[in-house]
């Protein structure tokens, strides 16, 4: 039953994506630069309605007790909520946060500030939406189901790669599907890009999340949906990724460039689509809860048939940085498990169509996916 719902959702995605010219929102305000986080207080001030309408800071719990906590520009009855990014965001987590905020305050907050990686950025977008829209967040997973404008929300990435800071989706795991709240109200009102915040990212995580961006570029630039809009962003993001992962940049330059690569990579897929690695990584995540960045890497290493140049570059990057991937992830799976990953993956029509063209079903088979998954 669960899987049928998943597949039905994917079909809806295709019909939405096949609309000819999509009219999508971009982040209206962005500040970039080292130390720009210190401007947050000034940015929020004009958005404070009154002292009873607080700002809620949703912060990756890595920063609990760190310098950043001291620098948060809280005033009056603002609330700081630390959230673990160990697991990707869930609809029930969004609903619980919304409930808490509504219980703690008589009026709606002045805004939500999300600080962290893709997990926190998506969570904060969803909370901002659900504070003004009735019911449970799971009923908004899909395309353009949100009817009311969200409250003001600010996104502050602390790791680079997902492009969640620019995208119009907030990816959530719900009771029966993992799917984004895709809407014109999801996109952030304000983004703060401060490369200083990236300083503490551990190397392996830097690589996995950074490769999400690299894979966005490869899948967008090699896809049949490619157009001049996507290409212009995708090429820039790819050049930046090559500099960061294969060049000899200083740590500071590398942080700044990867932050902008993430932004451009996100813009590139906004007007095209991702491809084989994301479709297959989705199956891994659905069955085993493998996180987005690492799931993409686990699949992408085996995709030289689809993206020969991309995989060659990817392997060079992996070697240069001495990254070891986990092995045997699919070693003990049952036939039923493989079938479920394959069905979820093959239900993502738009991604396959982008990757292989309209006759993609003639070019890919369950057996082929089974063979790739078995190598992971």
Sites of contact with ligand NAD (CB under 6 A) = 60, 62, 85, 88-89, 116-120, 122, 158-159, 161-164, 167, 169-171, 197-198, 200-201, 205, 209, 212, 292-293
Which residue number, 211 or 330, has a Cβ lying nearer to Zn ion?
211
CB of 32 to Zn ion, least distance (A): 22
Residue 48: exposure state from Cβ atoms within 10 A (0-12, 13-18, ≥19): middle
CB of 236 to ligand NAD, least distance (A): 18
Which residue number, 346 or 351, has a Cβ lying nearer to Zn ion?
351
Asked if residue 212 binds Zn ion (CB under 5 A), the reply is yes
Q: Which does 97 bind (CB under 5 to 8 A by kind): Zn ion, ligand NAD, none?
A: none
Q: Which does 109 bind (CB under 5 to 8 A by kind): Zn ion, ligand NAD, none?
A: none
Stretch that binds Zn ion, among 5-13, 24-32, 109-117, 210-218 (CB under 5 A): 210-218
Q: Which does 201 bind (CB under 5 to 8 A by kind): ligand NAD, Zn ion, none?
A: ligand NAD
Spell out the residues 6+ positions from residue 19 whose beta carbon is closer than 8 angstroms to its own.
none
Q: 2-17 and 335-346 helices cross at what angle (nearest 10)?
A: 20
Spell out the residues 6+ positions from residue 347 whose beta carbon is closer than 8 angstroms to its own.
6, 7, 10, 11
Lookup: tokens for 99 = 């409930």
CB of 196 to ligand NAD, least distance (A): 10
Percent helix, percent strand, percent coil in the chain, to nearest 5: 55, 10, 35
The whole-angstrom separation of Cα 325 and Cα 327 is 6
Which residue number, 270 or 355, has a Cβ lying nearer to ligand NAD?
270
Q: Which residue is nearest to ligand NAD (CB)?
A: 118
Q: Which does 88 bind (CB under 5 to 8 A by kind): ligand NAD, Zn ion, none?
A: ligand NAD
CB of 363 to ligand NAD, least distance (A): 26
CB of 42 to Zn ion, least distance (A): 33
CB of 212 to ligand NAD, least distance (A): 6
Q: Residue 303: how many CB atoms within 10 A of its CB?
A: 21
Q: Which residues pair with 190 in a beta bridge?
A: 29, 154
The whole-angstrom separation of Cα 376 and Cα 305 is 16
Sketch the per residue contact string, 82 through 121, with Zn ion: x for CB under 5 A, - otherwise.
----------------------------------------
Stretch that binds Zn ion, among 167-175, 182-190, 208-216, 231-239 (CB under 5 A): 208-216
At 243 the three-state DSSP class reads helix
Contact between residue 364 and residue 352 where contact means Cβ atoms under 8 Å apart: yes
CB of 72 to ligand NAD, least distance (A): 15
* H-run or E-run covering 113: strand 111-116
Residue 329 vs residues 237, 279, 288, 306: alpha-carbon distances, Å: 30, 17, 9, 22
CB of 268 to ligand NAD, least distance (A): 12
Q: Which does 142 bind (CB under 5 to 8 A by kind): ligand NAD, Zn ion, none?
A: none
Which residue number, 187 or 222, has a Cβ lying nearer to ligand NAD?
187
Sketch the per residue contact string, 156 through 195, with Zn ion: x for CB under 5 A, - otherwise.
----------------------------------------
Which residue number, 78 or 212, has a Cβ lying nearer to Zn ion?
212
Q: Which does 219 bind (CB under 5 to 8 A by kind): ligand NAD, Zn ion, none?
A: none
> Cα torsion for 145, 151, 155, 161, to the nearest 10°?
0
Closest CA to 254 of 188, 323, 321, 311: 321
Closest CA to 72 of 131, 158, 152: 158
The whole-angstrom separation of Cα 2 and Cα 6 is 6
Which residue number, 101 or 164, has a Cβ lying nearer to ligand NAD?
164
Residue 17: exposure state from Cβ atoms within 10 A (0-12, 13-18, ≥19): middle
Q: Residue 75: how many CB atoms within 10 A of its CB?
A: 12
CB of 335 to ligand NAD, least distance (A): 28
The residues that touch Zn ion, with contacts defined as CB under 5 A, are 212
């Amino acid at each position: 039953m669960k899987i049928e719902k998943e597949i039905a959702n994917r079909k809806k995605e295709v019909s939405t994506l096949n609309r000819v010219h999509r009219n999508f929102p971009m982040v209206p305000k962005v500040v970039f630069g080292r130390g720009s986080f210190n401007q947050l207080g000034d940015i929020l001030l004009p958005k404070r309605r009154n002292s009873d309408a607080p700002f809620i800071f949703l912060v990756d719990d890595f920063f609990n007790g760190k310098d950043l906590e001291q620098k948060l520009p809280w005033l009056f009855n603002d609330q700081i909520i630390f959230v673990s990014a160990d697991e990707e965001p869930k609809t029930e987590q969004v609903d619980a946060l919304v409930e808490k905020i509504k219980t703690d305050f008589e009026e709606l907050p002045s805004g939500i500030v999300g600080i962290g990686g893709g997990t926190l950025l998506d969570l904060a977008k969803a909370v901002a939406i659900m504070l003004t829209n009735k019911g449970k967040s799971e009923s908004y997973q899909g395309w353009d189901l949100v009817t009311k404008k969200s409250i003001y929300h600010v996104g502050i990435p602390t790791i680079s790669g997902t492009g969640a800071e620019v995208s119009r989706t907030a990816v959530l795991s719900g009771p029966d599907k993992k799917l984004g709240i895709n809407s014109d109200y999801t996109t952030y009102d304000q983004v703060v890009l401060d490369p200083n915040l990236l300083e503490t990212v551990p190397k392996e995580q830097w690589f996995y999340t950074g490769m999400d961006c690299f894979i966005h570029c490869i899948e967008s630039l090699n896809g049949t949906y490619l157009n001049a809009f996507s290409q212009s962003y995708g090429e820039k993001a790819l050049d930046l990724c090559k500099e960061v992962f294969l060049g000899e940049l200083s740590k500071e330059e590398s942080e700044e460039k990867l932050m902008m690569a993430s932004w451009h990579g996100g813009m590139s897929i906004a007007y095209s689509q991702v491809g084989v690695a994301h479709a297959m990584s989705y199956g891994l995540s659905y069955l085993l809860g493998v996180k987005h960045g690492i799931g993409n890497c686990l699949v992408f290493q085996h995709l030289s048939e689809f993206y020969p140049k991309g995989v060659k570059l990817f392997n060079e990057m992996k070697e240069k940085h001495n990254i070891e991937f986990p092995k045997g992830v699919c070693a003990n799976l049952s036939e039923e498990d493989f079938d479920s990953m394959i069905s979820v993956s093959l239900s993502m029509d738009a991604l396959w169509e982008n990757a292989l063209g309209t006759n993609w079903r003639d070019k890919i088979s369950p057996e082929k996916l089974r063979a790739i998954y078995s190598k992971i």
